[in-house]
Amino acid sequence: MFDIDGILKALQTDPNTRRQATTGAVAGAAGLAAGMMMGKSGRKLLGKATQYGALAALGGLAWHAWQRSRTNTTVAGSTEPTADYQPASADKAFLPPPQDEAARDRLGQALVRAMIAAAKADGRIDAEENQRIFARLEAIDLDPQSKAFVFDELSAPLNLDAVVAGADTPEHAAEIYAASLVAMDADTPAEKAYLQMLAARLGLEPALVDEMHRAAIAEPTGAAS
């Protein structure tokens, strides 16, 4: 089974990752973690990923935005974004059932590929940093399939076609965008351009994209300011 939780968790439990991501430095293994799930949005999603699992957390973000964009909640109801969304456990279109390991593996690989591509999009992962990440991955407890997949994706050049190819359904397209969004801060021209191009290639409606951005940056209810 493809271990998306293990990939993300192992990188983010490294003390240097937490310290450097918090201070804004990007080096060594922190480079990937800062790109993957360590943008501002990614740090807010970490609690949900720990509670529900990465697939459910990312699926929940996409599902939440999907529902709001189709029910005009931001117009007819509250316009305040909320981070208190739940995983889309009852909607198989966003989260394959636990017994369908093949579908979960395919979705997990598509999301990790999207995250790695997003981390490359801002140019912060160079050849030297790749080698340091490889050394970190060699030292962590991951199954060979998951480890080999990450090695291959890090070694390959940025390939938007491969990212988009993982969107076999409109729902998965939304999840791929959500994974890419939380993988970066999206505050540089290069990052913004990448997300705009990705949204266009995935065929996402502007209202859905806007809702994903709103949900990704929102603070949970009761969060300290």
Enclosing domain of residue 170: 4-74+82-217
And the tokens for 177?
A: 């965008």
pLDDT tens-place values along the chain, 225 residues long = 888 887 776 656 444 444 443 333 223 333 344 444 455 555 556 556 656 788 888 888 899 899 889 886 544 344 444 445 666 666 789 989 889 999 999 999 999 999 889 888 877 666 776 777 777 777 777 888 888 898 898 888 899 999 999 999 999 999 999 999 988 877 888 889 999 999 999 999 999 999 998 888 764 443 433
Contacts of 42 (CB under 8 A, 6+ apart): 36, 182, 183
As a whole number of angstroms, the distance between CA 136 and CA 16 comes to 11
- Residue 159 belongs to some domain of the structure: yes
And the tokens for 162?
A: 């491969």
- Residue 157 belongs to some domain of the structure: yes
Number of domains in the chain: 1
- Residue 57 belongs to some domain of the structure: yes
